Structures are given as C-alpha cells and as structure tokens.
Structure 1
C-alpha cells in the first residue's frame, strides 16, 4: 500500500516549468474565448459561389475538371472536413476528461486547463453540427456521412491512453498547419468557412501544448513493453482512420458524380474517387505525420525501431 501511495504522489507532482505551461494555456483560453453565434456565424450563410476547402487541402487542381466542378468538389470536401472534426472531437473530449481526473487532487492549473480544453472541444462539436446543417441548405440532397461518432469513439477509447494521446496530438497539429498554410491565405474561400476554422484554430493552438504535456507525463509511467504495445495500437488507429477515409471518399465521389451537372465517364468517376482518397489521406494522415513538431515529439519518446514500424505502416497507404 505504501508503494502504491508513493507512486500516486509521484505521478501527481508536476515540474514547475510544466505547471507554468498549464497556466499559460488557461490565460490563452480566456483571451480567445468565442461564441458560435456572435463571433463565428453572425447571421451569415455559406456562399456557394466560392470554394469551401482550399486547393492545398482539396487537391482539386490535380483533377481534370472545370472551374465550377473544382469549386463543387471543394465544397463537398469542406463539408466532410467539418464532419470529420466533429467525429474525432467526440473521442478527444472523452479522453481529455478521463486524463483530467489524474489532476483533480493535484496541480489545479493542469486540472483547469484540461477542463477548459474539454469544454472547448464540446463547443467545437456543437459548431460542426450547426455547420453541417447549414451546408446541407446550400448543397444538393444526397450527401452522406454515415459514420457513428459514438461507435468510433468507443473503438478508439478501447486503445491505450498513449496511442490515443499521440493520435490527438497528430490531429491538433495538422489543424494548425492546415489553417496557417492553406485556409488563412486563400482569399477565394467562403468567408464563413474561413471564420469557422479561424476560431477553431485559435483553440487548437493551445490544445496541442496540453496534448504534448499530457503525452509526455503519461509516457513517463510506461514500461518499454507497454510503449511497444502502444505504438502498435497507434498504428491500428491510423489504419482505422484510413478505412473511414476510404468509405467517405467513395461516398463523396459518388455524390460529386451525381450532382456535378454532367455524366462522368467510368474512367473519370474512378479518377475522382482516387483523388478524393488522396486528398483525404493528405488532410488527415500525412500532413500530420510529417509535421516537424509531431516527428520531434514522437521520436523523443520512442526508439528508432518503433519509428520504423510507424513509417512502414504509413508507407502502405501511399
């Protein structure tokens, strides 16, 4: 019993440098606090005369399509983009609520930062449900996103905490990359779509800091064998994400073909499906996996042989 209590006390002690980082995350959360209606939507509708997702993410310029068809493809992908974030934030919220319990009788800066994190992720889920309904008003009937968010969350949360935290860090780093490199600079996008992801980015900028802190704190408690298993579970999660992307790319390509204004030849339809999947793999897997900060953090936690396993698994998706 004494050994167990010592382990609990040791695990609850956070270095001063880290508690200061949690405090800074709280201050940032307060500074950027925003409201869905008053700050983001502001009574606006989506403008179908403009793109939703930028070319750097949709990769529509690689397809042999007209300007109008490329714009429509960007709108389909933008709708799926919002829905995917609504999906992943279901399990991210649940996991952060779970790990925050480890701070309830410990560092209160860490506890408050993670409670705020969870609250913001719940707000994001509400925002993306609103956005889906608003996009449905501007686009033809027949779009499908038939992924059960709760079922996916249960499957993800059945994996180890390490693997879920690594996946979460991966997601929240690519959110920042996408906004700063592709969404923010593109003046051809729907203003409302840009604002949705501006405010989303404002929260995720500090969330990734908390992800890193919690991941490193949890990693320090693992044995080599536990970490080895966790790396395998992270690979399993990436493969599961890819399976979802394959289904959605097929559904979105079919929706495009049914509503683009002309009949696609079989070879064209196949090409559209391939490009949608390529774009989705870039958006949700490769842009995060190749992020320098993600690479640096993960390589700092695992051995070279484990990194080779991850890179080999990613290589099978190309």
Structure 2
C-alpha cells in the first residue's frame, strides 16, 4: 500500500461524489424563489443573537438576516483565494496523476460556481433589506494578500474553512426548521460539494507538508498564525459595519450601551463562525497535529486564544 495509490483512490472518490451531487444554481437551488424575511437566516448556534437579551424577537430575526447576508458574502470572499490556490496546486499533477488533476479541476469549477451563487444571494438579500449594508473587504484584495503566504499555510486555512462549513451545516443549519427555506437550501447544496472539497484540501495539504523541511514547516506555521490574525482583522471591520447598519436601520433607537453590545456580539459570533468552530473540528485538529510539533501546536493555540480572549 503506497502513498500514491491511497491518494489516487481518494481523488477518485471525490470525482465520483462530484458527479453524483452536481447541481445548478437556477434549476436546483434558487428555483425562482425569494427569501422569506419573516424568518431568520442563520440559526442561533451560529448567530448567537440570544445573548443580546434586550433585543425583541423581531430584531433578533433581523440581526440574524444581517449576519446571514455577511455569512454568504464571506464564503464568496474566501472561495476566491481557495479556488486560485487549488488551480495552482493542479499544476503539480499536469504530467502525473490525471485522476488527481481532474479532481482539482472539478474543485476549481465548483468554487467558481459557488462564487456566482453567493453573488446572486447578495442581490436577493438586498431586495428585502433596507439600503446601507456594506460588505467591507474585497475578494481580490484579500486573495492577493492571503496568497503571499506559504502554500502550506494557505492550504491549512482552506482546509479549516471547508471543514467548518461541514460542522455549521450539520450541527446548526440542517436541524433548524425555522430558517428561511431558500437560505437553508443554499447551504444544503453548498455543503454537498464542500464535503469533497474538504477531502481534497487535506490531500493537497498533506502532499505539500511532505515536501517541506522542518525549518520551512516552522515558518509556514507562523504564516498560518498571521493569516488567522488577518481574518480576525476582517471580522473586526465587518462587525463594526454590520452593527452600524443594524442600529441605523432599526425601527426604534438603541442606547449607546446597547449599540456597543450589538457590535461586541457580532464580533463574538463572527469569531465563533470563522475561527473557533473550525479549530475545534476534530478532523482539522487531527490533521494539523499530525503535521506539527507540540511547540508549533502551542503557538497556534496561544495565538487563537489571544484573539478570542
């Protein structure tokens, strides 16, 4: 049993899954529907709006919708650099394993489709929400910055993201029967294709890890820590923007103290969604710990603890 043979089988499994679950944005997901703005978009397990006990029920629903809009935009953002990274990884298979090459080409094609899906979702959410919402980061600028890091670090971040999409859907979105039906379907279909993407992230991350020296891997760990810090900076900016939008479009005024708590609550929720939930995912921890030393693991954990303290 060789490493190459095992990988080929797993790449082939991803191709088979890709063919089986392949979906179309209009035919399968949107189907001429619109969002139900009487219902929340994100479940409590992700939005954490219940911690803001002073919000009346209607405002909790509205805040979940603001978060849901940002949640979709964030996926459109990160899938820009993930798709580019995977396209770059495919060159290592051009003159080698054609099964692996096909799997990565399919991966990239699906990520492009997901970006278009989330652009469509932004337009649909804008139809039913008050004007003034702003998604602060731009996909190309973030992708350009992220891709300056080592390949190992970018693949680690990609694996982290695509594993937490699995956790979010299975543990929070799928069990909640009260969400807007269209919003829930968006992430059902997203989850179907992200399931094999997470496997491919792992495979490419492991392949990249195998070629690094201990010194190169140690530097890559620093890159990963820096990337998580950069993501946290984006979350800070978006929490401020979303809190400002939510407060300014509210039917009734909030006190300064309540506005501060809304902003802090959004940042807490966003850190949970995009950093902590993925780090806690057993599969991510298992993969990361298999590649790193105890000292490197402690550095990563300390950096994340400092962010979310």
Q: TM-score range by the shorter chain?
A: over 0.9
Separation of aligned partners in 1, 2:302 and 2:136: 30
1:217 Cα shift?
0.7
Q: Which residue of 1 aligns with 2:40?
A: 51
**Structure 1 position 204 matched with structure 2 position 194:** yes
Q: What is the distance in 2 between the residues matched to 1:138 and 1:283? A: 24
| Alignment-derived partner of residue 26 in structure 1 | 15
* Of 179, 197, 217, the match for 1:227: 217
Aligned match of 1:116:
106
Of 226, 243, 252, which aligns to 1:253?
243
Runs of 4+ in structure 1 over 2 Å off: none
Q: How many residues align?
A: 306
Match of 1:290 in 2: 280
Answering whether residue 118 of structure 2 is matched by residue 128 of structure 1, we say yes
Which of 34, 49, 72 does residue 60 from structure 1 map onto?
49
Match of 1:147 in 2: 137
Match of 1:9 in 2: none
Structure 1's unaligned 5+ residue stretches are 1-12
Report deviation, 1:14. 5.6
1:151 Cα offset (Å)? 0.7
- Summarize deviations over 1:97-139 as a string: whole Å, max 9, x none: 0000100110011000000000000000000000000000010
Q: Is the 1:63–1:272 Cα contact (8 Å) retained in structure 2?
A: yes
Structural RMSD (CA): 0.8
Residue 147 of structure 1 and its aligned partner are, at CA, apart by 1.1
SS at 2:291 equivalent:
coil
Cα deviation, 1:236-265, whole Å, max 9, x if unaligned, reads 000000000000001101111011211110
Q: State the TM-score, normalizing by the size of structure 2.
A: 0.98
Once residues 95 and 251 of structure 2 are traced to their aligned partners in structure 1, the CA distance between those partners, rounded to angstroms, is: 60
Aligned pair partner of 2:146 in 131, 139, 156: 156
Q: Is the CA contact 2:136–2:241 (under 8 Å) kept in the aligned structure 1?
A: no
